[in-house]
């Protein structure tokens, strides 16, 4: 079995691309903001407020 060294990981890391682009990350952030705005506010039930 061949030994895998830290520099092997570094090399491979630099040769791969991000699975989530900056544009997609911004879209996710916008989606979260929208979902938070649309979510109902918490309300007490019965005599508990």
Half-sphere exposure of 27 (CA within 13 A, CB side): 5
Residue 37: predicted pLDDT: 81
**SS percent in the chain: helix, strand, coil, step 5:** 55, 0, 45
pLDDT at 12: 85
Q: 16-33: b or e for each residue (b if 16 or more CB lie within 10 Å)?
A: eeeeeeeeeeeeeeeeee
Q: What is the pLDDT of residues 7-39, one digit of tens each?
A: 988 888 888 877 888 899 999 999 998 888 866
pLDDT of residue 9: 86
């Amino acid at each position: 079995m061949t030994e895998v060294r830290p520099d092997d990981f570094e090399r491979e890391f630099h040769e791969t691309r991000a699975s989530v682009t900056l544009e997609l990350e911004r879209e996710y952030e916008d989606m979260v903001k929208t979902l938070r705005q649309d979510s109902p506010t918490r309300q007490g039930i019965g005599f508990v407020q």
